[in-house]
Amino acid sequence: MNEAKTLTIAIIDDEADMRLSIGQWLQLSGFRTVAFTGAEEALAEIGPDWPGIVITDIRMPGMDGMALLRRLMSLDPQLPVIIITGHGDVPMAVEAMRLGAYDFLEKPFDPERMADLVRRALKARRLTLDNRQLRRELSDGTVLRRRLIGASPAMARLREDILDIAQADTHVLILGETGTGKSLVAHALHASGPRQGRALVTLNLAAHGAEELEARLFGPLAAPEVPALEAARGGTLVLESIEALPAELQSRLLARLDETPPGEAPEVRVIAVCNLQEEGRSCADVLRPDLYYRLAAQTITVPPLRERGEDVLMLFNRYLEIFAEEYGVTPPAVSAEEASLLLEAEWPGNVRQLVNLAERMILQARRGEVSLAQLLAPAAGAEAAPAPAAPLKGKPLRERIEAFERMLIDSAMRRHRGSVSKVMEELSIPRRTLNEKMARYGLSRADYVR
């Protein structure tokens, strides 16, 4: 995102010439500006979540720059405020930095230095505002519903677990079959917790030999590369395929984790992802016990697709829409017969298999040859580990009808981007009936409006 075009620089100075020269230079450099003649005038406009930064002179009649800084910091401690000082005002500038100023410029200053300082301040402000927006959306579940699609009880529990465990700021072990979306859950944990906005580093342990893995995890690495544990300092390190970590490196990792005193937040939050669920073994079988229990301070199990019921139809429609947009075609409608096939499939490859199927269906649609039954046949006939029966097999007719009805409403809402009137017209149902059914099936119009 271009911060220069989306954020505003408030220039506060009682001297008209200084306001004009700073504003003109910044505007010529591509920045948006607004000018104020004094602190009181600026405070009437600037409040918490001000979409930009502040540049203010330190010496002004009435409320001076230091008093203004204190007021701004009380309104929003993360608002970047750049102080302009006169020659010899360095002690005052140092005091301003102590009070929370972002930086200071001493007159006469280099315009290029000012522009560089402004760019950095705007970037920091954008990150702060984005993080606040993300936290607000997370608080009402909007982001998690969009990232972790599904209205089944299993997915509702998963989202609740993520929001609860994210706040613990301890290490986490994520379990689940291949293709269930464990990496997505790891990223959601980071985005939902106190470290969101800080470093998020991912390392696939199964992708490297022992020697290379040791260097990538602990160092040393040739500049400018930084070892994962160092790069994630203060943030989160996601270790995918934790079961692939050699025994000697398990000891080194445990030693690093043990450096954190009991009761204190770790320097690096480790989220370990394990892929052994379907192989008759568990992480506890391959990790040394002390490391296992350290990583499993909190545990999340991601449900397989076969346990998510009608989520299958919602997911399939969503990925049809995504790939249709990518390949420039109209997404094909899913018939009742095809919906039944999707609901009865066993999905040994879980969500990853479903995503691949949706892409193949769109590629067929480009050629005018759409046959979901044929696409499902190879997957059904391929050798795979036995899986429990799909959740709607043998279910009463009412449950199958409800699953299909939910899929039709979800598909129509996606096509019409949340336009209730268009969905009512397509499905020939009154608004009250549509609202009741959406509430019953856990569908929210906000998830479709884009």
Give the per-residue pLDDT at 280: 63
Tell me the C-alpha to C-alpha distance, in Å, between residue 161 and each of 146, 157, 213, 304, 350. 16, 6, 31, 16, 20
Q: Where are the alpha helices (DSSP H) in 258-308?
A: 283-286, 289-295
Over residues 384-430, the pLDDT tens digits come to: 434 444 555 556 667 777 777 887 888 788 778 788 888 888 888 88
- How big is the chain, counted in residues? 450
Tell me the C-alpha to C-alpha distance, in Å, between residue 381 and each of 148, 188, 294, 341, 373. 29, 34, 41, 14, 12
Q: How far apart are CA 388 and CA 371, in angstroms?
A: 25
Over residues 271-297, the pLDDT tens digits come to: 999 987 655 678 888 999 999 999 998
Contact 206, 241 (CB under 8 A): yes
pLDDT band at 3, cuts 50/70/90? low
Give the per-residue pLDDT at 389: 42
Instruction: Give the CA angle between residues 439, 150, 333 to the nearest 5°.
Output: 85
pLDDT above 90 covers what percent of the chain?
33
- The helix (H) or strand (E) run that includes residue 49 is none
Helices (H) and strands (E) in the chain, counts: 21, 10
Report residue 394 as tokens.
């043998």
> For residue 202, is pLDDT > 60?
yes
Q: How far apart are CA 105 and CA 93, in angstroms?
A: 9
- Of the listed ranges 17-26, 73-82, 319-328, 362-371, the least confidently predicted one is 362-371
Please choose, from the candidates 348, 420, 418, the residue with its C-alpha nearest in 3D space to the C-alpha of residue 388.
348
Please choose, from the candidates 349, 382, 177, the residue with its C-alpha nearest in 3D space to the C-alpha of residue 280.
177
- State the chain's mean pLDDT as an integer: 84
Q: At what angle do helices 65-75 and 90-99 cross, to 10 degrees?
A: 10
Give the per-residue pLDDT at 385: 39
Q: Read off the amino acid at residue 199.
A: A
Give the per-residue pLDDT at 171: 94
Give the per-residue pLDDT at 340: 84
- Of the listed ranges 49-58, 90-99, 275-284, 321-330, the least confidently predicted one is 275-284
Over residues 62-82, the pLDDT tens digits come to: 899 999 999 999 989 889 999
Residue matched to tokens 């342990």:
205
pTM over cut 0.75: no
Residues sharing a CB contact under 8 Å with residue 401, sequence separation 6 or more, in sequence order = none
Give the per-residue pLDDT at 393: 56
Please choose, from the candidates 192, 161, 167, 171, the residue with its C-alpha nearest in 3D space to the C-alpha of residue 296.
171
**Residue 428 Rama label (left phi>0; alpha psi -120 to 50; beta):** left
List the end-to-end C-alpha distance of the chain, in Å, as a whole number. 18
> For residue 219, is pLDDT > 50?
yes
Contact 211, 382 (CB under 8 A): no
> For residue 447, is pLDDT > 80?
no
What is the SS3 assignment for 175?
strand
Please choose, from the candidates 45, 92, 91, 99, the residue with its C-alpha nearest in 3D space to the C-alpha of residue 69.
99
Tell me the C-alpha to C-alpha distance, in Å, between residue 242 and each of 55, 165, 250. 48, 19, 9
Over residues 108-152, the pLDDT tens digits come to: 888 888 999 999 899 888 878 876 776 666 555 555 666 788 888
Domains and CATH numbers, the chain: 3-136 (3.40.50.2300), 152-303 (3.40.50.300), 306-447 (no CATH)
- Of the listed ranges 93-102, 278-287, 293-302, the least confidently predicted one is 278-287
